[in-house]
């Protein structure tokens, strides 16, 4: 079954190692195959990866686009260590990212990395508001805590 992508005028996406930019009109594409695909809204760059969680997302994005984790593992684990040291409550999300990477489900690891960014924003919001507690939403999506 083909993947259907609808693009707004001027919207970009990555297909494999190519950046494709839509023209002046709304477009619908049907893509068959196994090449990695990322829409513009899901793409981070070095410049936009301005928080620790976004840097983890960027490295997972590179793993996904390259089709392999190997060349990026050292940087990934260095970033993960820093995040866990600063915010141990991120463990469950990072554990899910790690499991997806280990099983080769790099697109799903990318989705979990997006959840890490969302959780990081909640943590930052609590710090900025002066709240002493963790966010109300559990980072594990309501799953039971690790035993």
The reported pLDDT for the residue numbered 147 is 37
pLDDT tens for the chain, 147 residues long, are 788 999 999 999 999 989 999 999 999 999 998 899 999 999 999 999 999 999 999 999 999 999 999 999 999 999 999 999 999 999 999 999 999 999 999 999 999 999 999 999 999 887 877 765 666 555 555 554 443
H or E segment to which residue 12 belongs: strand 12-15
The reported pLDDT for the residue numbered 56 is 98
The reported pLDDT for the residue numbered 130 is 73
The reported pLDDT for the residue numbered 2 is 84
The reported pLDDT for the residue numbered 131 is 64
Tokens of 101: 């990477």
The reported pLDDT for the residue numbered 127 is 80
The reported pLDDT for the residue numbered 139 is 59
How far apart (Å, rounded) are the C-alpha atoms in residues 108 and 85?
24
Tokens of 132: 């002493």
The reported pLDDT for the residue numbered 145 is 44
For 24, 31, 32, 35, 124, the CA distances from 117, given in Å and listed in that order, are: 32, 28, 30, 25, 10
Kindly give, in sequence order, each residue whose CB lies less than 8 Å from that of residue 51, ignoring residues fewer than 6 positions away: 117, 120, 124
How far apart (Å, rounded) are the C-alpha atoms in residues 133 and 147?
22
How far apart (Å, rounded) are the C-alpha atoms in residues 114 and 27?
26
């Amino acid at each position: 079954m083909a993947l259907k992508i609808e693009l707004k005028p001027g919207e970009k996406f990555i297909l494999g190692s190519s950046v494709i930019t839509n023209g002046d009109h709304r477009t619908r594409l049907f893509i068959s195959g196994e090449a990695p695909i990322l829409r513009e809204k899901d793409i981070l760059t070095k410049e936009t990866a301005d928080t620790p969680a976004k840097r983890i997302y960027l490295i997972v994005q590179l793993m996904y686009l390259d089709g392999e984790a190997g060349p990026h593992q050292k940087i990934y684990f260095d970033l993960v260590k820093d995040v866990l040291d600063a915010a141990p409550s991120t463990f469950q999300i990072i554990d899910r990212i790690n499991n997806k990477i280990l099983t080769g489900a790099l697109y799903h690891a990318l989705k979990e990395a997006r959840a890490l960014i969302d959780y990081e924003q909640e943590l930052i919001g609590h710090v900025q508001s002066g709240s002493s507690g963790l966010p109300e939403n559990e980072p594990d999506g309501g799953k039971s805590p690790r035993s």
